[in-house]
Structure 1
Amino acid sequence: MIRYAIPAFAFAAALPMTAQAAEIQIAATGPVVELNVLEEVDAAPDMVTVSAGVSSEAPNAVEALRQNSRAMRAVIDRIKSLGVAERDIQTSSINLNARYDYDQQRQEQIFRGYRASNRVTVKLREIDETGEVLDALVVAGATDLNGPVFGLENDERAKVAARRAALQRAEAQAREYASLAGYSNVRLLEISESVQGRSGPQPIVVTGSRLKAMDESAPVEPGTISTGVSISVKYEMTR
């Protein structure tokens, strides 16, 4: 939470500077109205995140991991060949597990070997190429995909617009309350802010047989995503 305190300039000059700033309390002589305002703005995404995974099975752990590493190397090499920078490719998980089947007649677990899996998360800065990249990952050997998740590389400009709109709306509401209560004006006492999460299209999971059915580039529509701020403000009603 980011907290803004409105400075009391008449007293600030007389106070000595300290290593740790003290919270400033502003006295109010009139009634105080406290409001919570959420403001969101829509913006076109400028990046998209997808993840690609490969799974391999073998009778022993060493061979399962070796096969899986070979398959993932092919996927990563394909990602890099599409112009994706190394800093935008990140391994998100590596798993190695024993496989068992349950024998109903014998009522016991039967060991079947090992399954290794590896997943990378890829950040794409050219949204128009998302469908082509997804297809290329499948051709390179990815056995499951997750995404796309759209986002903003830097949403500060959108948040600035949200702050301005939120404060304007808060002041208008405070003035309305003041008028209803018989006061003519308001004085801002305090602002505190909470940053809201981004919302957008939900991730699309593509696995198994659905991958094999892709005859052309997957259609991808980025739409818009929302980002914003939530502010709590206190106003004193004045005559």
Structure 2
Amino acid sequence: MNNYSLPLALAASLAFPAMASAADPAKTPRIVVSGEGESALKPDIALLSLSVMREAKTARAALDANNDAMAAVIAAMKAAGIAERDLQTAGVQINPRYNYTNKPDGSQEAELVAYQVTNTLSVRVRDVDKTGDILDKAVTLGVNQGGGISFTNENPSAALTEARKKAVADAIAKAKTLAEAAGASVGRVLEITDQTFSPRPMPVSAKAFDAARAVPIENGENTYNVQVNVTFELK
């Protein structure tokens, strides 16, 4: 009996690695597909970028003039119901302005003629229906540079959840179609990853603010897009 015990034990030990290899998840037949889903949501916040530029012979005079104009704009924002937490200075720039003349030797002569001061204010408007009126007041009080507007949502989680569900459903449908075409079937989900694409800002030129006294604003809808990559077991 002892003559056969060793070969049997050795045979059993060799069988276990083979069984483990057959169950190796890395060797499980699989299919990877991508799915896309989107959901639209009416925006409830408008984001404005308002700039005031003033020019004077000296930097001090330009800054003082700019401060007065921007103070009036900020006061108008608060009077319109914009909270202090929704007002933020985005930047202040002081730049000299030169006139250049060509000299006979081909060089240029620079003459300092003025200083320009630009102050940019970021405004979050939580009542989007007031956006046009706020832009009109801002331009009337001195906003004359840059300018931009975009619409967003304070809490887009519901729209993102809906988009994710649609994306996964799209991936499942694609996987079933591909598997059936190959004479197989879809098994359990092995892995899911997702990527979210938020709406892009829509810039508006400051020149458009001067086109009419009442600024027409259409806030439309924000579309949230989700893309998922799903790995399925293939039977």
Sequence identity of aligned pairs in percent?
A: 33
| TM-superposed deviation, 1:51 | 1.4
Larger Rg: 2
| TM-superposed deviation, 1:218 | 0.9
Q: Which residue does the alignment assign to 2:85?
A: 87
| TM-superposed deviation, 1:77 | 0.7
| TM-superposed deviation, 1:113 | 2.1
Q: Which residue does the alignment assign to 1:42?
A: 40
RMSD: 1.8
Counterparts in 2 of 1:131-210, with a 5 A limit?
131-144=132-145, 146-199=147-200, 202-207=202-207
| TM-superposed deviation, 1:228 | 2.2
In the alignment, is residue 60 of structure 1 matched against residue 61 of structure 2?
no
- In structure 2, the CA distance between the partners of 1:219 and 1:211, relative to structure 1 (3 Å rule), is closer
- In structure 2, the CA distance between the partners of 1:49 and 1:190, relative to structure 1 (3 Å rule), is same
In the alignment, is residue 76 of structure 1 matched against residue 74 of structure 2?
yes
In the alignment, is residue 219 of structure 1 matched against residue 216 of structure 2?
yes
Moved more, 32-41 or 187-196: 32-41
Structure 1 unaligned regions, length at least 5? 1-25
Structure 2 unaligned regions, length at least 5? 1-23
Partners of 1:39 and 1:229 within 8 A in 2: yes
Structure 1 CA distance for aligned equivalents of residues 27 and 179 of structure 2: 14
Partners of 2:36 and 2:227 within 8 A in 1: yes
Partners of 2:186 and 2:232 within 8 A in 1: no
- Normalising by structure 2, we get a TM-score of 0.83
- In structure 2, the CA distance between the partners of 1:93 and 1:72, relative to structure 1 (3 Å rule), is same
Alignment deviations for residues 148-173 of structure 1 (CA, whole Å, 9 cap, x no partner): 21111111110000111111111111
Partners of 1:158 and 1:228 within 8 A in 2: no
Q: Which residue does the alignment assign to 1:14?
A: none
Q: Which residue does the alignment assign to 2:233?
A: 236
SS at match of 2:179: helix
- In structure 2, the CA distance between the partners of 1:195 and 1:29, relative to structure 1 (3 Å rule), is same
- Normalising by structure 1, we get a TM-score of 0.81
| TM-superposed deviation, 1:204 | 1.2
SS at match of 2:212: coil
Q: Which has the higher helix share?
A: 2
SS at match of 2:158: helix
Alignment deviations for residues 208-234 of structure 1 (CA, whole Å, 9 cap, x no partner): xx555423x111111111112221110
Partners of 2:36 and 2:228 within 8 A in 1: yes
